[in-house]
A and B are shown apart, each in its own frame.
Chain A
Amino acid sequence: QVQLQESGPGLVKPSQTLSLTCTVSGGSIISDDSYWSWIRQYPGKGLEWIGDIYYSGSTHYNPSLKSRPSISLDTSKNQFSLKMNSVTAADTAVYYCAIRRRVKTDYFDSWGQGILVTVSS
């Protein structure tokens, strides 16, 4: 059973860059049926898909977020990361990393426990 664990700062100042890492254990990030994803959940409970990355390095992002997010992976550490620039209070949320299955299907079947990121000065 693949497990995911988010890490990173819980407090980010407005206009700065949010940086989070997801460590994958129990399986390899080099997997042909897995897209490594970031999702966030606002305090009011709504969920938003941020984007994902395939082991080849191919990325896809939620078009509503414009060019703010950037997802990368480090196969040597079995990790993938999220950076989001120019954050505001509206980016305050619980951030989850998850595995998105997308080969002739589409769903998230493994999630990390989530990490609360607060944007405040």
Chain B
Amino acid sequence: QSALTQPPSASGSPGQSVTISCTGTSRDVGAYNYVSWYRQYPAKAPKLIIFEVTERPSGVPDRFSGSRSGNTASLTVSGLQTEDEATYFCSSYAGANNLVFGGGTNLTVL
């Protein structure tokens, strides 16, 4: 059982937008501005796509955006492309040097 709750799956058609939620508690997602998101292709390592809730690393398209409301963070992928089909994980700092992950969401581009 992962500490952060994500929907197991999400889907959208090319060009559409999809939002993936990540629900934690007031001790992790709701407490710190240290929510990050990772994209993982099969048999590959995760790759950082969002950090500090809304920030994108250099090279990540602005189609990817992050937000947070209370204890729930969200990742929105706009203008879906076939290459966006992957598994997406969220993570959050949880205090006392601890860090927790979500269970991952499989995004399908229909």
- A interface vs B, CB < 8 Å? 45-49, 60, 62-63, 96, 98, 100, 105-109, 111-114
Contact = CB atoms under 8 A, between A and B. Distances in A.
A107 B51 contact: yes
Nearest to B96: A63
Contacts of B91: 47, 49, 107-108
Given A45-B87, A46-B2, A60-B97, A107 B48 contact: yes
The 8 A-B residue pairs with the shortest CB-CB distance, nearest first, are: A111-B45, A106-B34, A60-B97, A107-B51, A47-B101, A107-B36, A106-B93, A49-B99
Contacts of A60: 97-98
Interface string B40-77: 00001111100110000100000000000000000000
A83 to B, nearest CB: 19
Nearest to B106: A45
Given A49-B98, A107-B34, A108-B48, 10 more contacts: A46-B101, A47-B46, A47-B101, A49-B99, A96-B46, A106-B36, A107-B48, A108-B91, A109-B57, A114-B45
A105 B52 CA distance: 7
Contact of A113 (B36, B45, B89): B45
